[in-house]
Structure 1
């Protein structure tokens, strides 16, 4: 414990030496809908926390809805006195914030690893899954890919406008994959990449995607699944901030345009043993097939995680590379689960179903539970799309149906934690009902 505290204290003191103009540090964590919450601490108080002083925030901050409100969920929120819960600093995450008007720092906090972790905190859910896999001798290597759109900073009657091409000042309204788009938007993209790198994030490939103003960022592969999810979460935060600084809005909204492709979160996962052998490649890749079968079996029950809001369901069955059924295939981007071509050492599964605004901790946790289930059940999967273009199983395409499918699934309740599943499903149910409590102008056009 003393060694842990001394390491944190050294990190804070080094940060203060390197950034003497920073007076405050945002201590942040991801809630269930995938938003950061936290507190802004004077940097001198952060030293005290690093040295061992308690760090407490309301437990129920994790339960906030998409709009920040609290819902009645079991005994939480309105019958528990809104208690505080201990958090801890995540080592290695204290970094400068360059997109705010004043010099700031930020650092991740979490309840995992404390004496009483919050069972429904997303990072804690993933931590438990990773710990269980490690005890079984399974070591995931993970890489995220995130798609996002750039919009003009100003909305028009509440609706997004196409990003302006900085060279021509025209709207970037033409879908394309042209490399020139990377050049035209180089100032903001370069700043996004450099800012992410300053957060410790390994950015690899940048792609101009098919939608107007749409891009994809790839991250490096990591043996630390928690850190991989941290990268995805932190990138979303910094990218939004950098975009505003350059006069744009960046959004990871799943389906901002009905007529253009949605934005996804693609997760590459390979599994190794303690000696570094790829478990999926053993025995003529039979474990790969078992892992695929397990993921496909649980996929229809994980839809509230992969499509966490009303808009995310609009992305499914969209214009390009968005699956309509639970399916898999070799080098097939129409599949929920794609097996990229690779050598045995790097054999992996690319899970492509989640929307870009999904919670990365929960997406990875759900994928790993599916892989774990498949390896243990040792069942054969359905035919890949390469053999049968009609292969696949239906999954829910509406939130309340998806919640019903998730809540009582025994493998998920065991793998992710029954308390988490109950809390998460009720959070999504209440969010969906709250979303319906506003009459849209379309209703007046149709029914007035």
Structure 2
């Protein structure tokens, strides 16, 4: 504890020396829907927190709905007195914020590692899964890939408009994968990449995707799953900020256009033992097959995590590389679980089902639980798509069905935590019901 305090103090003091114009720092954490909440602290108070002063925020801030409101979930929110809960600073995450009009800093906070962690906090859920795997001698290496769309900054009657090509002043309304689109939007994309690097994120490949104004950015592989999920969360925040600075909106919305591909969160995961051997590659890759079987078995019961809102379910099926069933395949982008071509050292799965706006901590936790379950159960998977294009098992494609499938699955409850599962499912159920409480103009056209 003394060592961590010393490290945090050194980090804050170094930051103050390097950024003397910064007066405030945003202390932020991700809630259940994947939005940041937190407080803006004077830099002097941050140094006191680093030295050991308590850092408390309302426990129920984690339970906010998509629109920021609180739902009655068991005794939480309205019958618990809205208590505070301790948070701690995450070392190594104090960085400058360059996309705001004033000089600011930001730093991640979390309840994991505190005396009384919040059981349903997303980062704590992932921390528990990783700790259990480490105790079993399993060490994941993880890399995220995130797709997103650029839109014009101005909405048209609440609807998004195509991003405007800064060179031709025409809208980027043609779906394509052309490399020239990276050049045409290089100013904003380069700023996004550099800003992410300034946050400590290892940005690698940038791709122009098939949708108009759609791009993908990949991150480097990490042997720290928490840090990998931190990168994904922080990248979304900085990318939206940088886009606004350049006159665009960046959105990780799963399916902004019905006629164009949705945006996904692809997660590469390999598993190693303490000596650095790839566990999936042992015994003629039999553990890989078991891990795939576990992922596919639990996938239908984790759909509220992979597709966390009404719009995310629209992404499934009907467009390029979006699976409609739980399936797998070698070098097959139509599969939920793809096995990229690689040497035994780098053998891994690529989980492709989650939408780009899903919570990265929970997505990774659900994937790891599936792999863990598969290794324990030792079952053979269904046929890969390479052998049978019709192979696959059904998963829920509507939120209330998905919630029911998740809430009562014993393996998911055991490995993700029963309290978390109950809280998360009720949060999703209430969000879905709240979404229905508005009459769309189409209803008047059809039924008036």
TM-score range, shorter chain: over 0.9
Secondary structure at the aligned position of 1:212 is classed as coil
Secondary structure at the aligned position of 1:148 is classed as strand
- Aligned-partner Cα distance in 2 for 1:263–1:121: 25
- Aligned-partner Cα distance in 2 for 1:346–1:142: 11
Shift of 1:50: 0.1
- Aligned-partner Cα distance in 1 for 2:42–2:422: 37
Counterparts of 1:168-187 in structure 2, within 5 Å, are: 168-187=168-187
Contact 1:33 1:358 in 2 (8 A): yes
- Structure-2 residue corresponding to 1:153: 153
- Structure-2 residue corresponding to 1:353: 353
| 1:237-262 deviation digits (Å, cap 9, x = unpaired) | 00000000000000000000000000
Runs of 4+ more than 2 Å apart: none
Shift of 1:115: 0.2
RMSD: 0.3
| 1:37-84 deviation digits (Å, cap 9, x = unpaired) | 000000000000000000000000000000000000000000000000
Secondary structure at the aligned position of 1:169 is classed as coil
- Aligned-partner Cα distance in 2 for 1:186–1:373: 43
- Aligned-partner Cα distance in 2 for 1:400–1:408: 13
- Structure-1 residue corresponding to 2:371: 371
Shift of 1:355: 0.1
- Aligned-partner Cα distance in 2 for 1:78–1:146: 36
| 1:342-387 deviation digits (Å, cap 9, x = unpaired) | 0000000000000000000000000000000000000000000000
Shift of 1:2: 1.1
- Aligned-partner Cα distance in 1 for 2:2–2:340: 45
Shift of 1:208: 0.1
TM score, norm. by length of structure 1: 1.00
Shift of 1:118: 0.1
| 1:199-229 deviation digits (Å, cap 9, x = unpaired) | 0000000000000000000000000000000
| 1:61-113 deviation digits (Å, cap 9, x = unpaired) | 00000000000000000000000000000000000000000000000000000
Gaps of 5+ in 2: none
Shift of 1:328: 0.0
| 1:13-40 deviation digits (Å, cap 9, x = unpaired) | 0000000000000000000000000000
- Aligned-partner Cα distance in 2 for 1:309–1:180: 33
Answering whether residue 1 of structure 2 is matched by residue 19 of structure 1, we say no
Shift of 1:319: 1.1
Contact 1:262 1:318 in 2 (8 A): no
| 1:165-212 deviation digits (Å, cap 9, x = unpaired) | 000110000000000000000000000000000000000000000000
Secondary structure at the aligned position of 1:105 is classed as strand
Gaps of 5+ in 1: none
Secondary structure at the aligned position of 2:215 is classed as strand
Shift of 1:318: 3.1
- Aligned-partner Cα distance in 2 for 1:388–1:319: 20
Secondary structure at the aligned position of 1:216 is classed as strand
Secondary structure at the aligned position of 1:134 is classed as helix
